[in-house]
Amino acid sequence: MRLIRRWIEGPWVPPQVGRAPYLWVASLAFFGWKYLYVDAYALEFVLLALTLILFVPVYFGSFWYTGREAAPFIAVSFALGVAWSPFNFGASTFFIFSAAMCSRLGQPRLAYACLAAILVSATALAMALKLPFSFLIPTLATGAPVGIASIMDAQVRNSRKQLLLKQEEVEHMARIAERERISRDMHDLLGHSLSLITLKAELAGRLLDRDPAACRAEIKDIEASARHALAEVRSAVSGYRETGFTHELERARAALSAAGVTLHADAPSLAMPATAENVLALALREAVTNILRHAGATHCEVSLGMQGGLIVFRISDNGKAAQAGAVVEGNGLRGMQERVAQLGGWLGMQFEQGMSLELRLPMERAAQGGKP
């Protein structure tokens, strides 16, 4: 039923094989060559018409099936060649078609075995029926190269298909990685910025009645922070952001100061790869965000330096160690660990008297963008 429905509705062959199969049908003209110089009975013309009515759908239908499902189409074409061989030497055309259909079997070894079986069987039939070379030569001289070319073409198409699938898989994984990157960056960007805006909004609310001028200043800072956050979000989505560590340290100092947390920094300027600086800046931002949200700290220490080819960054606070669980389970730490791992680094955290975070990045690996 599927074959009949496809024959009625079309297309008759898969789009990827092109229009050549429609032209190959013209080779059936050799089957009618005999009747240009030999008269035929009406019964023979009827059988000829029935043969064509049977073969044409079988031929086009064979393009839609592979593996074992293609075997019946090969068998029908070969059987038509056997049936017509004693009466019409143009029946060699059916052997050539069946040789070409061997490519539908999928496995090259099986396809070549089937091709060899067809050619050997056709030769044996010609010898058994004592058919002239005018029958056997087209079968062998055309059937063999046509069959081999069809099998090789099927292998090329299959390889191309596999390559396209792999490319699609790579593109899919790249899209997933990019979504994860954006997700991490959005968490870090918005988490820090919104925490700062919240603190300033609370401070502005407390200053509203007793110090309107200071309240207006805080509101302006809130507006500036919101605009800056919006700009960073746009940059992150486009995949391009150049927030240096020094700039991030100043923003951290301002955010902690607004929350009543003093910051002592021992972070001299270091010449480091942009990838490493970006990871350090985001790690500082995430750590400060956690201090603002969870620690309840009053003092924070930051240090940055080089030790044996490693970039070493540390940050600690005197907050409440009981809040460690909220930090460990958060998405921010997970994103931080992924960034550090991509550069071949190490990240450790301790929760004793507050939170203590240490991050180590190999300078050489960071300079290569994380590539081994």
pLDDT in tens, 133-144: 777 888 888 889
Report field, pTM of the whole predicted structure over 0.95? no
Digit-coded pLDDT (tens) for 153-199: 888 888 877 876 776 676 677 667 767 766 777 777 677 777 778 88
Q: What is the pLDDT of residue 170?
A: 66
Question: Prior bond to 11 cis, omega within 30?
Answer: yes
What pLDDT does 368 receive? 55
Residue 174's pLDDT is what?
65
Looking at residue 129, what is its pLDDT?
A: 85
Answer yes or no: are the C-beta atoms of 276 and 343 closer than 8 Å.
yes
pLDDT for res 366: 56
pLDDT tens digit sequence for 102-116? 988 888 899 999 999
* pLDDT at site 295: 67
Q: How far is residue 298 from each of residues 11, 168, 263, 295, measured CA to CA in Å? A: 75, 52, 9, 9
Residues in the chain with pLDDT values less than 50: 240-242, 322-328
pLDDT computed for residue 194 by the predictor: 78
Amino acid at 43: L
Question: Which pLDDT does position 264 carry in this prediction?
Answer: 92
State the pLDDT at residue 369.
52
In this prediction, residue 10 carries a pLDDT of 62
